[in-house]
């Protein structure tokens, strides 16, 4: 009898713990093997044709090489790339400052602030990785410090610097100076808000600070009100607010999904907000879950369809549109809907500055793996 009970117990343990672990490991290995095979297949001809969704026949220069993928931007912005290249070549901040001063669209302004701050953070990281010796070269992101010093009342410079500080803190949340850096970022946000009272961007930046400094819900709601008083349909603002409400930070799955559903339900025609539930789903995906069945369930399917609806009805040049394409690529590959996934590649190839790739250790490689599978159709 005792032997039978022991056998039943071992069977239960194996079924509950061991089998799922083995399945997740097998799924991960199969995905990595498929990605490698697909990448090799697309590379043999020097690229693949993206003329039709899912068409992997015929060599062309259609795919951007992995080492040329741009980590700074989620999608094309020729004016910003030109400004960033000039800043990097000359070390002067004025091309970036002039571009931001001419950027009136609040969605585009938010995206450009994100990218400029991200570029500065990357330059600083590269400089530190190379030894970080000021005597051997100009410190990384020196142009941003010059911007703040030479034009302290420029709202653009203040916004970029505040976001830069946020990126610095979030890159190492275990650092002793984590809260100090975020407190400085909050001070700069307040200064930026005073310099441009009608601009929602400083308050959007503070939404990320609210996560790191553990704002109470009342404090967070106050920041959110300041955003919505200025731009209630701002997609970038909703993307910035959503993580605070997720169970990984200070909310729950119910909070995040409720926030996303309410935003999608209140969306005006031509808005990207119907795509927000897909981001809420992403924020609550279980670890190491790659089974296609999960991505073919009703909740995920509805979120995918809502995101596709948003893309089909928003203007082609919406600055936040690429963020939706990137996340759709991930979900559609997981759901084995390869022709639709290939459509996302066609829209954003060349750029990887968006989730889910930036959440990984090697954004370019992870994006390239999904891209290869989408194009190869397996």
Query: Looking at residue 111, which CATH number applies to its domain?
Result: 1.25.40
> How confident is the model over 51-65, as a mean pLDDT?
51
Q: Whose structure tokens read 């097998």?
A: 26
CB 300 within 8 A of CB 306: no
Distance (Å, whole) CA 259 – CA 242: 8
Residue 41 pLDDT more than 90?
no
SS (H, E, C) 38-90: HHHHHHCCCCCCCCCCCCCCCCCCCCCCHHHCECCCCCCCHHHHHHHHHHHHH
In a 3-state reduction of DSSP, which class is residue 377? coil
Distance (Å, whole) CA 361 – CA 366: 9
- Supply the pLDDT for residue 293: 74
Does 214 fall in a domain?
Answer: yes
DSSP string, 194-215: HHSTT-SHHHHHHHHHHHHTT-
- Supply the pLDDT for residue 61: 40
- The residue among 5 and 365 whose pLDDT is bigger is 365
Residue 10 pLDDT more than 80?
no
Does 174 fall in a domain?
Answer: yes
How does residue 135 score in pLDDT terms, banded at 50, 70 and 90? Answer: low
Kindly state the tokens that stand for 15. 């079924």
Does 227 fall in a domain?
Answer: yes
Distance (Å, whole) CA 175 – CA 14: 40
> How confident is the model over 204-209, as a mean pLDDT?
98
Residues in contact with 217: Cβ distance below 8 Å, sequence separation at least 6, in sequence order: 250
Residue 225 pLDDT more than 90?
yes
The total number of structural domains in the chain stands at: 1
- Supply the pLDDT for residue 62: 76
DSSP state of 274: G
Does 130 fall in a domain?
Answer: yes
CB 99 within 8 A of CB 79: yes
Does 295 fall in a domain?
Answer: no
Does 190 fall in a domain?
Answer: yes
Give the mean pLDDT of the chain: 87
Kindly state the tokens that stand for 50. 């993206």
> How confident is the model over 12-30, as a mean pLDDT?
45
The H-assigned helical ranges of the chain are 2-13, 19-43, 78-90, 94-101, 106-129, 142-150, 155-171, 178-195, 201-212, 217-230, 235-245, 253-265, 276-283, 292-295, 298-313, 321-334, 338-348, 363-376
Instruction: Supply the range of the domain harboring residue 156.
Output: 78-232
CB 360 within 8 A of CB 346: no
Does 194 fall in a domain?
Answer: yes
- Supply the pLDDT for residue 90: 94
Does 3 fall in a domain?
Answer: no
Kindly state the tokens that stand for 326. 């990137």
């Amino acid at each position: 009898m005792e032997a039978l009970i022991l056998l039943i117990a071992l069977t239960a343990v194996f079924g509950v713990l061991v089998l799922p672990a083995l399945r997740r490991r097998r799924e991960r290995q199969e995905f990595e093997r498929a990605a490698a095979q697909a990448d090799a297949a697309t590379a043999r001809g020097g690229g693949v044709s993206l003329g039709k969704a899912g068409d992997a026949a015929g060599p062309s220069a259609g795919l951007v090489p992995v080492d040329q993928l741009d980590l700074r931007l989620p999608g094309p912005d020729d004016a910003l790339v030109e400004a960033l290249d000039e800043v990097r070549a000359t070390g002067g901040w004025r091309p970036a400052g002039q571009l931001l001063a001419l950027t009136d669209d609040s969605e585009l302004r938010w995206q450009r602030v994100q990218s400029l701050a991200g570029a500065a953070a990357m330059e600083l990281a590269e400089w530190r990785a190379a030894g970080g010796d000021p005597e051997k070269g100009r410190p990384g992101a020196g142009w941003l410090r010059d911007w703040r010093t030479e034009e302290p009342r420029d709202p653009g410079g203040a916004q970029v610097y505040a976001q830069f500080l946020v990126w610095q803190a979030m890159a190492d949340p275990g650092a002793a100076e984590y809260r100090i850096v975020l407190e400085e970022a909050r001070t700069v946000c307040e200064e930026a808000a005073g310099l441009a009272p009608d601009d929602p961007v400083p308050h959007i930046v503070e939404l990320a600070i609210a996560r790191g400094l553990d704002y109470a819900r009342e404090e967070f709601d106050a920041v959110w009100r300041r955003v919505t008083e200025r731009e209630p349909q701002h997609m970038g603002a909703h993307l910035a607010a959503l993580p605070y409400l997720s169970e990984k930070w200070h909310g729950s799955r119910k909070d995040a999904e409720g926030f996303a559903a309410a935003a999608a339900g209140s969306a005006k025609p031509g808005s990207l907000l119907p795509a927000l539930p897909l981001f809420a789903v992403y924020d609550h995906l279980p670890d190491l879950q790659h089974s296609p069945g999960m991505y073919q369930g009703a909740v995920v399917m509805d979120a995918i369809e809502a995101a596709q609806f948003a893309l089909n009805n928003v203007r082609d040049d919406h600055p936040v549109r690429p963020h939706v394409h990137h996340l759709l690529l991930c979900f559609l590959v997981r759901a084995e809907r390869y022709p639709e996934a290939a459509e996302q590649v066609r829209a954003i190839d060349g750029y990887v500055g968006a989730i889910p790739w930036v959440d990984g250790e090697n954004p370019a490689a992870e994006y390239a793996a999904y891209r290869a599978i989408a194009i190869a159709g397996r």
